[in-house]
Structure 1
Amino acid sequence: MMKLSAMCSIKRTDPANSSSNNATFDINDESERLHILIVDESCHDNTVIKEWSEVYAGDRTGNNLSRKRRIEKVPSLMRRAHEGDNQEYNPRVVSLGPYHHGKQELQLAENLKHSILPKFISGSGKQFDDFYNKVLEVIDDVRSCYVEGSTSDYNDQEFAEMMLLDGCFLLYYIECMSNRRLEIWEFVHHMGMFAAKYILSDLFLLENQLPLQLLEALMSERFKEDERGGMIENFFAVMFAKAPPPRSKHSISRREDEKQPLHLLEALRTILLSNYDEDKQGIQSSLLPSGRKELPICDVKEYIRSSIRPVTELQAKGIQFKRSNSVSLKDIKFNSKCFYGQLSLPPRIITAQTKTIYSNLIAYEMCPSTPNDYGITSYISFMKSLICQPEDVRELRSKNILINCLGNDEEVVKMFKDIITYDLQKFGIYDEVRKDIQNHYNNKMKTWMAELIHKYFSSPWTVIAFIAATSLLVLSFLQTYFTISPTHH
């Protein structure tokens, strides 16, 4: 096998036949010369080339990016990876914000927004103008949250009206869900059951987000302070089928600036990865630390050994699975005991919306101005390694770790398989868990004892069969012994 070398040099060349949006790099190592053409449709004025040069030189890492956080669009490379099927990224029934506004196939929800607006306002004791003027107060900040140029077709009046309709629609839906109000059926009556079931997944599309600053402004007009506190958290609690957290006057969108989510999708990610050590470095900073000029050596043997085995294979090696008490994705722990190991996993409800939500969370993590720990991508990569066949799902269901609402276990396997993780960082924040599992797996004494227990003591019938076989063996031995050496009286 060819040994990968870290002694690489990179220089940029500009072939005459390349366009201004393309960049060509020569990569030289000890044995080969590679000529790579990088094409990026979004690369203008050599901005991307400059950024990559700075990253390689150690002047730019994931921790010192000063780019303003925005509601990003799905990277074009990710869309192309789905081979034209972008249903996971495009809204099916409702658009929120400017990116998909005005699409003909979404007009049914637009009509519903106009009927929901007066119902949302009516409970406040205020007038339409109060809400409209409140939106105008933050309109410049809200506009700046979107990709430059995406709102230029709207003047302030048009943009404020769109934000008001979309924001009230979203908050009305959240209020109905978080308080389990019967008004949620209004969406079904207006749109039909088939269309209404896609509303929830549409709320968590990367390109379908509203700034939480806008939602806070609207909630301040509609609700009293003690009524609006924790409303978004209650909404998430309903999603996870958990008891709502204690009521607080501070919602998730009112945290200190450096930790405040920009939109609902980021707020979901914040809750999923709650209590995660934010000081841990992500892939960008660990790839080329500041000041380092050489590329890291790729340990192919270690990469192959790092793969986590499926559930059924780990179970055969004495690794048991346990449902953790937290919904946080960071709460994955492994404990190695004398003759067995225990892997604790957070519970998850698998629904028709799960694939869409996780795909957009991954798309969010792939954007340039977002957190670089890749927590959601790491979790999906981890689960994809554990779940390879229906038997793996069945075992996790038996421990109440997975709650399958899709119908059969094969669909769960297919769902995880279809979520693309791009193999970035492999298991990322779960790397220590992976190492602990591998160390337990490599311990021959523990695995041999576990295999013995799994084979002969996994059920009452195997125990009975083992005792019967052992008794038969002992009786045969005694019969042979007394035949060869009869007792003399």
Structure 2
Amino acid sequence: MNQTGRIHDSLTIAMDKKLTQLSNNYRHEPFIHRVHDRLRRQNERAYEPELLSIGPYNRGKPALQVMEKHKHRYLQLLLQRRGESSVDRYVTTIRALEERARGCYEEDIDLYANDSFVEMLVLDGCFIVELCRKSENKSLADHRDVLFKREYLHHLIWRDMLLFENQIPFFVVDELFNMTKSTQEDCDKRTMVDLLLLFYNNTRKYYHYHTKFSGKNHWLQNASHGIDSGDVKHVLGLIHLHLFKLSLSSKQSPDRNCDSSVRWEFIHSTTELREAGIRFRVKHDSSLFDLTFSNGMLEISLITVDTKTECLLRNLIAYEQSLGNNDLKMVTDYVTLLYCIIKSPKDVSLLRRYGIINNMVGDDEAVSNTYTNTSSCVFVSHDRFCYKEVFNEVNAHCRQRRNIWKAKLRRNYFNSPWTVISFLAALFLLMLTFLQTLVALVPNLAHLHAALVT
């Protein structure tokens, strides 16, 4: 065979090998990705862990090494509590899941030496399980456990657990939970979904469900909202799925039919809507995404804004952008809604006075910037926008001239108690003047009538 033939053969072999590897990699659709550069450039810190590394993408970063010691400590305490002296059982189980777990990542994970990938899954998975257990049952926490002596760390840890790039497959966490389940957890039919949502509840005080139920296990059934572990991809995906379930269970949830034939336009800011006669009211006992409009009243669920809000929204949006085109993008649409009605600190001030915004950052401009900045990373589907029907109703109301006149009258003459009092006083004086004139005219009219008769 000539030189050209040998080159051709070697090239064929190399290309066939790459295609075979590519085929193997795509046996399962990956769902743990890197953040797109376009999103990262807008706010890199929103996607970077502050304290905790979960999964391979942030593994080994110097600033996160302190938590690695806590992971080993949590694994050691788990073994002691269960009376076990070796991690062999867990390593063997997770090693059997290694290939499946690797296929969940978009990138090839270069952690082969000394079973580094399996070690990472065992340490990270057991840490998540034990952290949630101790959060739900404080008696399990060691008195020397710094993470529970300093509860503010829970907020940082939970924030890092919800980062788009800071994930491991949920089936790994779920397997480790089932392997280490206590007798009480087994009797209560407790799931890893329950524990994670309860940890979310304990960490985020403005959570959207309450555990005031009768019956021993009722709270557990409500906590998971019927979410099956097999439907969960990772921790961030669980919270997204949970919010979606809450929205569907609401009596007044956003439109889920998403008729692609319906045309719609964005609504104006709170200030402009108010000038057009739209009234605002907070919507109690509803899911985060609820928005209703009726008889000129726009009802919006409570919006709590803190220092972690932009980070959470950005990572949820990054997750939604990794989903298929037919999946509803609730958070993306919700951020679009908030960007429409919040264009300035004045809009924030108005919504705060209506009780719709709970401003935990203290600065109205900072709240306005949160949604202005976050909206820059969204891509709204015109056909599947959740709030298109409400937007059309609001815009139709604003176009009615009589509503604009009523709004101007209310703003110019009835915008404070003093203007109302002044109007009533002027009206009273006008009526007195009219009556006085009428009384004065009555005798003259009588004389005129008599003269005409004669």
For residues 432 and 418 of structure 1, the distance between their equivalents in structure 2, rounded to whole angstroms, comes to 26
**Identical aligned pairs, as a percentage?**
27
Q: Which position in structure 2 is the counterpart of 1:75?
A: 36
1:365 positional shift: 1.7
In the alignment, is the contact (CA less than 8 A) between 1:318 and 1:454 conserved in 2?
A: no
* Residue of 282, 285, 291 corresponding to 1:332: 291
1:66 positional shift: 10
Q: Does 1:102 align with 2:34?
A: no
1:388 positional shift: 2.0
Q: Which amino acid aligns with 1:217?
A: E
1:408 positional shift: 2.5
Q: Given the superposition, is the C-alpha separation of residues 470 and 248 from structure 1 closer, same or farther in structure 2, using an over 3 Å criterion? A: same
Q: Which digits, 9 at most, give the CA deviation of each residue in 1:93-131, with x for residues without a partner?
A: 211000111011211222222222223444445553333
For residues 212 and 421 of structure 1, the distance between their equivalents in structure 2, rounded to whole angstroms, comes to 26
**Which structure 2 residues correspond to residues 473-484 of structure 1 after superposition, within 5 A?**
473-478=430-435
Q: Which position in structure 2 is the counterpart of 1:246?
A: 219
* Residue of 177, 182, 190 corresponding to 1:228: 190
Report the TM-score, using the length of structure 1 for normalisation. Answer: 0.70
Q: Which position in structure 1 is the counterpart of 2:400?
A: 443
1:438 positional shift: 0.9
Q: Given the superposition, is the C-alpha separation of residues 148 and 369 from structure 1 closer, same or farther in structure 2, using an over 3 Å criterion? A: farther
In the alignment, is the contact (CA less than 8 A) between 2:292 and 2:390 conserved in 1?
A: yes
Q: Which digits, 9 at most, give the CA deviation of each residue in 1:26-61, with x for residues without a partner?
A: xxxxxxxxxxxxxxxxxx99xxxxxxxxxxxxxxxx
Q: Which digits, 9 at most, give the CA deviation of each residue in 1:269-300, with x for residues without a partner?
A: 11222217997569xxx69xxxxxxxxxxx9x
Q: Which position in structure 1 is the counterpart of 2:281?
A: 321
Q: Which position in structure 2 is the counterpart of 1:424?
A: 380
For residues 249 and 394 of structure 1, the distance between their equivalents in structure 2, rounded to whole angstroms, comes to 35
In the alignment, is the contact (CA less than 8 A) between 1:178 and 1:235 conserved in 2?
A: yes
Q: Which position in structure 1 is the counterpart of 2:160?
A: 202
Q: Which digits, 9 at most, give the CA deviation of each residue in 1:312-362, with x for residues without a partner?
A: 332341322232422242x22222x2xxx2222222322211110100111
Q: Which has the larger radius of gyration?
A: 2
In the alignment, is the contact (CA less than 8 A) between 1:351 and 1:406 conserved in 2?
A: yes
For residues 478 and 66 of structure 1, the distance between their equivalents in structure 2, rounded to whole angstroms, comes to 91
In the alignment, is the contact (CA less than 8 A) between 1:252 and 1:267 conserved in 2?
A: no
1:413 positional shift: 1.1
For residues 99 and 344 of structure 1, the distance between their equivalents in structure 2, rounded to whole angstroms, comes to 41
Q: Which amino acid aligns with 2:287?
A: V
Q: Which amino acid aligns with 2:162?
A: F
Q: Given the superposition, is the C-alpha separation of residues 367 and 156 from structure 1 closer, same or farther in structure 2, using an over 3 Å criterion? A: farther
Q: Given the superposition, is the C-alpha separation of residues 206 and 452 from structure 1 closer, same or farther in structure 2, using an over 3 Å criterion? A: same
Q: Which position in structure 2 is the counterpart of 1:262?
A: 233
Q: Which amino acid aligns with 1:243?
A: H
* Residue of 464, 469, 476 corresponding to 2:426: 469
SS in 2 for 1:207: coil
In the alignment, is the contact (CA less than 8 A) between 2:330 and 2:386 conserved in 1?
A: yes
1:157 positional shift: 2.5
SS in 2 for 1:333: strand
In the alignment, is the contact (CA less than 8 A) between 2:190 and 2:220 conserved in 1?
A: no
Q: Which amino acid aligns with 1:307?
A: F
**Which structure 2 residues correspond to residues 353-372 of structure 1 after superposition, within 5 A?**
353-367=308-322, 369=324, 372=327
Q: Which amino acid aligns with 2:381?
A: Q
In the alignment, is the contact (CA less than 8 A) between 1:322 and 1:399 conserved in 2?
A: yes
In the alignment, is the contact (CA less than 8 A) between 1:280 and 1:373 conserved in 2?
A: no
Q: Which position in structure 2 is the counterpart of 1:49?
A: none
1:471 positional shift: 1.7
Q: Which amino acid aligns with 2:237?
A: E
For residues 219 and 197 of structure 2, the distance between their equivalents in structure 1, rounded to whole angstroms, comes to 10
In the alignment, is the contact (CA less than 8 A) between 1:95 and 1:208 conserved in 2?
A: yes
* Residue of 327, 350, 375 corresponding to 1:395: 350
SS in 2 for 1:206: coil
Q: Which amino acid aligns with 1:92?
A: E
1:227 positional shift: 5.7
For residues 130 and 413 of structure 2, the distance between their equivalents in structure 1, rounded to whole angstroms, comes to 57
1:364 positional shift: 1.4
SS in 1 for 2:386: helix
**Which structure 2 residues correspond to residues 53-202 of structure 1 after superposition, within 5 A?**
68-80=29-41, 82=42, 85-126=43-84, 128-149=87-108, 151-155=109-113, 157-178=115-136, 183=141, 186-187=145-146, 197-202=155-160
Q: Given the superposition, is the C-alpha separation of residues 234 and 332 from structure 1 closer, same or farther in structure 2, using an over 3 Å criterion? A: same
1:91 positional shift: 1.5
In the alignment, is the contact (CA less than 8 A) between 2:49 and 2:163 conserved in 1?
A: yes
For residues 114 and 326 of structure 2, the distance between their equivalents in structure 1, rounded to whole angstroms, comes to 31
In the alignment, is the contact (CA less than 8 A) between 2:280 and 2:354 conserved in 1?
A: no
Q: Given the superposition, is the C-alpha separation of residues 204 and 68 from structure 1 closer, same or farther in structure 2, using an over 3 Å criterion? A: same
1:370 positional shift: 7.5
* Residue of 331, 339, 343 corresponding to 1:384: 339
Q: Which position in structure 2 is the counterpart of 1:291?
A: none
SS in 1 for 2:282: strand
Q: Given the superposition, is the C-alpha separation of residues 101 and 467 from structure 1 closer, same or farther in structure 2, using an over 3 Å criterion? A: same
1:140 positional shift: 2.4
Report the TM-score, using the length of structure 2 for normalisation. Answer: 0.75
SS in 2 for 1:322: strand
Q: Which position in structure 1 is the counterpart of 2:390?
A: 433
SS in 2 for 1:99: coil
For residues 121 and 278 of structure 1, the distance between their equivalents in structure 2, rounded to whole angstroms, comes to 49
Q: Which amino acid aligns with 1:413?
A: S
In the alignment, is the contact (CA less than 8 A) between 2:126 and 2:176 conserved in 1?
A: yes
Q: Which digits, 9 at most, give the CA deviation of each residue in 1:370-400, with x for residues without a partner?
A: 7642221110010011112333323333444
Q: How many residues are treated as equivalent by the alignment?
A: 396
Q: Given the superposition, is the C-alpha separation of residues 172 and 279 from structure 1 closer, same or farther in structure 2, using an over 3 Å criterion? A: same
In the alignment, is the contact (CA less than 8 A) between 2:33 and 2:106 conserved in 1?
A: yes
SS in 1 for 2:106: coil
Q: Which amino acid aligns with 1:355?
A: E
For residues 441 and 378 of structure 1, the distance between their equivalents in structure 2, rounded to whole angstroms, comes to 22
